[in-house]
Amino acid sequence: MVSKVFSSVSFFLIALFMIGSVAHASSEESASEEFVVTLDHSNFTDFVAKQKFVVVEFYAPWCGHCKKLAPEFEKAASILSKEDPPLILAKVDANEEENKVLAREYDVSGFPTIKILRFGGSVVQEYKGPREADGIVTYVKKQSGPAAVEIKSKEDASLLIDDKKIVIIGVFPEFSGEKFENFTTLAERLRSDYEFGYVVDAKLLPRGDSSVSGPIIRLFKPFDELFVDFQEFNVDSLVNLIEEKSIPTVTVFDNDPNKHPYVVKFFNTENDKAMLFLNFSSESIEAFKLKYHDVAELYKGQGIGFLIGDLDASKGAFQYFGLSEDQVPLIVIQKNNGQKFLKTNLEPDHIAPWVKDYKAGNVQAFKKSEPIPEVNNEPVKVVVADNLQDFVFNSGKNVLLEFYAPWCGHCKKLAPVLDEVAVSFEDDESVVIAKLDATANDIDPDVFDVKGYPTLYFKSASGKILPYDGDRSKEDIIDFIKKNSDKSTQQESGKDEL
């Protein structure tokens, strides 16, 4: 089961990166032959068990991002099929009912999800590479090779270590022994996140003490102090240290794709997430950056991370939070339970006192809501965040509530069914069928656990809350409502039970 934190993070990242588009590729070769292997519940396990290395995409046919990826994935598969030995890309339609057990097994919470499966599927890692053909090819070829490479010259070092990514280098007097074995284990464990190398002579490395003979592990990064040395060789401890040092004091989100991996890492932490959005071309940008960095340094290690985002790159975030550009500069802090705190039209000197007030618990939570509808006379009633309490919890009625997304194909298919259900209860004032656009209204994740669309919940007149996970037919939904409605409320309303 996917955690609520991961779910909200996934939804936000989808919104954040909903910019630009992937070019469609075509080739005569791919038109006549498919190189991406199609797998399903019947052949997945047997096929994967025979592979030392395979990359699998879990997709849904209705997913726009999957459709954009498809020609790129196919083109990459065509190129990789010519490697010796061939490198295999495969796909699974995770929207098919019979394949959903595979999706659950591999923690698929959104589409597309790409996994790297090694050694017959015994090792599973996230694919964290590009989504265009050339980038896929480069990333997959690296992932299929050794987890760490030996650096034998300054040229080798310069090819591996640059100013755009994190690279981890082990310095060892000899490539053997327990510490070297632990380093190679670390490299295998984190190879989908970082590049690894090892060297005898530290003089070949571009930064750091060149006189060390090791064993040490040196982390190179394109931000903050630029390199960090570790003398710890416990693998679990190293993983934690590397994760801690791999997040900038202030993460930058703009249109530079090289910075996007750090944005993903920022959102995958357990920290509260402070996000400052402003126009990077404004005259006051340097003053904001300076003040914001000072605050980030002040609260380092206190459970809050800091990101600064360019307005031009953050359209998806504004849609997700229900914000408008005339509120910029603004700062949002999001907690892992979904709560948000907002300060709009701020000046650089506002940042420190506002964050201090937030940490002290003196800032009121912000709630995104559509306007309460003035007319609400359709069979399925419209609920928004601002009237959810009154309409659902304080109504004294039995309420079936759908959480939907306007773009969701399954929601569109369910809509006429819910209309029919609502019409069947139109003579029973104790039953209400309602819907809430979960992309435009904030909901309490501790009450309603919405991981996908549509999600249905039933609240009885006495306040009992039940998820509905039955068949989405009119008959089954009506039967569920009848079984779980409070009869006493129906009798008091003067209506007979249907």
* 63 given a catalytic annotation: yes
In this structure, are residues 112 and 94 in contact, taking their beta carbons and an 8 Å threshold?
Answer: no
* 408 given a catalytic annotation: yes
In this structure, are residues 22 and 69 in contact, taking their beta carbons and an 8 Å threshold?
Answer: yes
To 10 degrees, what angle do helices 260-267 and 4-16 make? Answer: 150
Exposure of 429 in the CB half-sphere (CA atoms within 13 A): 8
Catalytic residue among 13, 66, 114, 421: 66
Give the whole-angstrom CA distance, residue 2 versus residue 14.
Answer: 16
In this structure, are residues 78 and 15 in contact, taking their beta carbons and an 8 Å threshold?
Answer: no
In this structure, are residues 292 and 308 in contact, taking their beta carbons and an 8 Å threshold?
Answer: yes
Give the whole-angstrom CA distance, residue 382 versus residue 379.
Answer: 9
The DSSP H or E segment spanning 100 is helix 100-105
What number of helices (H) and strands (E) belong to the chain? 17, 20
Sign of CA dihedral 376, 378, 379, 385: negative
**Beta strands 123-126 and 148-150, pairing class:** unpaired
Catalytic residue among 2, 408, 415, 417: 408
**Beta strands 455-459 and 465-468, pairing class:** antiparallel
Helical spans, DSSP H, in 224-284 = 235-245, 260-267
* 411 given a catalytic annotation: yes
The DSSP H or E segment spanning 447 is none
Q: Which residue's structure tokens are 């409502």? A: 481
* 232 given a catalytic annotation: no
Q: Which residues, in sequence order, are bridge partners of residue 217?
A: 170, 230
Cβ neighbours of residue 248 under 8 Å, at least 6 residues apart?
A: 223, 224, 262
Catalytic residue among 148, 355, 399, 411: 411
Give the whole-angstrom CA distance, residue 209 versus residue 101.
Answer: 51
- Which amino acid type is present at position 478? I
Give the whole-angstrom CA distance, residue 59 versus residue 69.
Answer: 10
The DSSP H or E segment spanning 40 is none
Catalytic residue among 25, 63, 149, 212: 63
Active-site residues, by number, are 63, 66, 408, 411
